[in-house]
C-alpha cells in the first residue's frame, strides 16, 4: 500500500488520451469510509474506477454492490495486496483469480482491468495478468521517480501530512496544465483521512478547474460495458468458460498470440480484447494443445478460475 516504486522494466501504461481528462481511481477498498466517498461522487454526478481488494470484497460486499449499482467501474487489486513481482506464478494467479471470483460472486460480472499493489509489475506479472484477462492500469508517470501519487495513503500511518498531500496534488495539477493527454492519479478509499482529503479538497479542486473526470474505461473511449467480460461485446474477448465455448471454437488467425505480444503496449488497451485470447482457447480445447512449460502451468492454474 505504501510507496514501493520498483518496476522491473519501463513500460507504456494506459493513458487517457484527452487533455485535462482525469481517469479517476481509488484503490484498496471496499471499506467503511468508501460509502462517504460514494455519497460525494453521487452528489457531484461523478463516476470512478475502484481497484478492489478481494479479501475486503467479502468483508464489504454491500459496499461493492453500491459502487457497481452507481455505475462506477470495478477492477482487481489482488486478494491480499502483496508486491506481485515477489510472488510465484501460482501465487499471482491465486491473488488475481480469487479476487475475480469474489467480485463475480458479489456482482455477477468479471472485471477486465487490474492494478498491481505499489505499482509493482514486470513482464512476468504483466503476462500472467493479461492471460487472465486483466489489463494492468497504472497511474501517470512523468519520470522514473515522479508519478501522480498523492501520497494520501501515508497520512494514516503518520508518515506524511494532509498538507503534504495537498501540495502533492497541486504539483500534479501544475503538470496537468502542460500535458497533451489525460492522466491518472493514485488515491485510496481505505481510510477516513484519504476519503476526507478526496471529498474535502481534491475533488472540489478538480471540479473547480473544469477537468473532465471519469472512470478509466470511459476515459479510454470505451463504453462502461466493456469493463466486464460478461457485458463486453468485443468478439476477441470471449468469456473464459461456458457460454464462450462456441464462439472461440473457431479462433481468429491472430488469436493465438495477441495476448502476449501486445502486453504493455498502450495499443492493447483498446483492446481489452486481446487479453486472454491466447490462453483461453487452450483451456477449452486443451487436448489438442501443445503447451510450453510456462504456458502449461499457467493454463492449468487458470482453469481454476
| Residues that bind Zn ion in the complex, under the rule CB under 5 A | 1, 27-28, 117
Nearest Cα neighbor of 32 from 239, 226, 188 is: 188
Query: Looking at beta carbons only, is 1 or 291 nearer to Zn ion?
Result: 1
Which residue number has the CB closest to Zn ion? 27
Sign (positive or negative) of CA dihedral 113, 205, 30, 163? positive
278: its cell numbers:
491466447
State the DSSP code for 213: E
Exactly one of 77, 81, 188, 284 is catalytic; name it: 188
Q: Which is nearer to Zn ion, 148 or 276 (CB)?
A: 148
Closest approach, Cβ 165 to Zn ion, in A, equals 16
- Collect all residues with Cβ–Cβ distance below 8 Å to 71 and sequence separation of at least 6: 47, 224
For the chain, the straight-line distance linking the first and the last C-alpha, in angstroms and rounded, comes to 26
CB 30, min distance to Zn ion, A: 13
Residue closer to Zn ion, measured from CB, 57 or 279: 57
From the CB of 78, what's the least distance to Zn ion, in Å? Answer: 8
Give least dist CB 190 to Zn ion, A: 8
Does the active-site annotation cover 27? yes
* Neighbour tally for 187: CB within 10 Å: 27
The secondary structure of residue 8, as a DSSP letter, is S
Give catalytic status of residue 39 as yes or no.
Answer: no
Q: Which CB atom, from 22 or from 118, has the smaller least distance to Zn ion?
A: 118
Is the peptide bond between 30 and the residue preceding it cis, with omega within 30 degrees of 0? yes
Q: Are 29 and 189 in contact (CB under 8 A)?
A: yes
**Strands 49-52 and 25-27: what pairing?**
parallel
Where in the sequence numbering do the catalytic residues fall? 27, 188
Amino acid at each position: 500500500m505504501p510507496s514501493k516504486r520498483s518496476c522491473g522494466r519501463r513500460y507504456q501504461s494506459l493513458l487517457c488520451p484527452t487533455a485535462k481528462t482525469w481517469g479517476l481511481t481509488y484503490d484498496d477498498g471496499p471499506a467503511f469510509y468508501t460509502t462517504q466517498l460514494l455519497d460525494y461522487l453521487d452528489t457531484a454526478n461523478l463516476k470512478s474506477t475502484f481497484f478492489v481488494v478481494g479479501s475486503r470484497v467479502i468483508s464489504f460486499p454491500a459496499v461493492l454492490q453500491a459502487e457497481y449499482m452507481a455505475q462506477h467501474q470495478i477492477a482487481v487489486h489482488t486478494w491480499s495486496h502483496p508486491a506481485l513481482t515477489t510472488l510465484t506464478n501460482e501465487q499471482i494467479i491465486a491473488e488475481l483469480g480469487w479476487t475475480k471470483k469474489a467480485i463475480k460472486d458479489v456482482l455477477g460480472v468479471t472485471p477486465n482491468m487490474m492494478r498491481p499493489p505499489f505499482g509493482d509489475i514486470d513482464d512476468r506479472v504483466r503476462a500472467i495478468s493479461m492471460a487472465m484477462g486483466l489489463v494492468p492500469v497504472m497511474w501517470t508517470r512523468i519520470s522514473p521517480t515522479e508519478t501522480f501519487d498523492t501520497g494520501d495513503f501515508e497520512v494514516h500511518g503518520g508518515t506524511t501530512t494532509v498538507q503534504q498531500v495537498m501540495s502533492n496534488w497541486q504539483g500534479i495539477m501544475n503538470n496537468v496544465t502542460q500535458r497533451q493527454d489525460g492522466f491518472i492519479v493514485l488515491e485510496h478509499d481505505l481510510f477516513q483521512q484519504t476519503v476526507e482529503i478526496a471529498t474535502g479538497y481534491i475533488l472540489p479542486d478538480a471540479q473547480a478547474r473544469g477537468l473532465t473526470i471519469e472512470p478509466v474505461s470511459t476515459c479510454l473511449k470505451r463504453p462502461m460495458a466493456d469493463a466486464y467480460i460478461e457485458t463486453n461485446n468485443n468478439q476477441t474477448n470471449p468469456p473464459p468458460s461456458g457460454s464462450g465455448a462456441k464462439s472461440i471454437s473457431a479462433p481468429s488467425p491472430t488469436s493465438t498470440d495477441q495476448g502476449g505480444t501486445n502486453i504493455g503496449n498502450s495499443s492493447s488497451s483498446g483492446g481489452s480484447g486481446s487479453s486472454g485470447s491466447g490462453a483461453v482457447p487452450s483451456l477449452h480445447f486443451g487436448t489438442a494443445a501443445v503447451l510450453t512449460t510456462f504456458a502449461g502451468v499457467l493454463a492449468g492454474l487458470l482453469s481454476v478460475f
